[in-house]
Amino acid sequence: MSEECDHAVHRADSARLSLRGDCESCFGLCCVVAAFSASTDFAIDKDAGKACPHLQSDFRCAIHTHLREQGFPGCAAYDCLGAGQKISQLTFGGEDWRRAPGRAPQMFELFLVMRQLHELLWYLAEALTLQPARQLRGALGLAFEETERLAENSPESLGELDVATHRREVSALLLRVSELVRAKSRHRKDCTGLTSAVPTSATVSFSPHPS
């Protein structure tokens, strides 16, 4: 592995620690931006852009420790992958949507953009650790750094970002990774005749929406 690739792998490993939701540093964005309907995942209907009735004035959930019991397993399972705190503390510099209601629509819209970028960062970081994809580590490292750069842009630049095009470009690279992983998996199965011989780390799926 080249020194550049080795650096990219270590950087991605470190970055993954921040690709988790930190509710203490967020202004309850997922509790406002998302829309959901009463179902097995959510106990009530809620429109997009409307605060959940359980969101308190300090942006904390009143039933956080009892989400599943209260009929909100969908909330318990959700992870913004760090997009919430990034928008709250970096993009908008700690300015919350309640004190600055005029910025709320932009903040809510950019949260969805940031969530997509962080999702891509999560997949790229995972791909960089996969041995079957080592020949693509240079390209993966560049894609990771570019996505990370985009995620640190100003609100104006994020608003102008064609995130769908960037996602397609990165997804094409991740598809190549998936093909290499699957090829390695098939090779091991052919050699041993046992599916159990394939390590679970080699069967990662690059689906568009991680759980």
Average pLDDT for 83-91: 97
pLDDT the model gives residue 201:
35
Average pLDDT for 78-85: 96
CA–CA separation, 33 vs 25, rounded Å? 16
Average pLDDT taken over every residue of the chain: 87
Nearest C-alpha neighbor of 104 from the set 53, 32, 5: 32
pLDDT band at 4 (very low <50, low <70, confident <90, very high): low
**Tell me: the pLDDT tens digits for 101-139?**
999 999 999 999 999 999 999 999 999 989 999 999 999
pLDDT at 84 over 60: yes
pLDDT band at 184 (very low <50, low <70, confident <90, very high): confident
pLDDT at 164 over 60: yes
Average pLDDT for 144-154: 96
Q: What tokens appear for 17 in the block?
A: 């620690």
Helix, strand or coil for residue 46?
strand
pLDDT the model gives residue 210:
42
DSSP string, 129-143: T-GGGGGGHHHHHHH
Look up the pTM and report it. 0.83
**Tell me: the pLDDT tens digits for 7-59?**
667 777 777 778 999 999 999 999 999 999 999 999 999 999 999 999 999 99
Cα–Cα distances in angstroms (integers) from residue 166 to residues 36, 131, 147, 154, 202, in the given order: 27, 25, 8, 17, 25
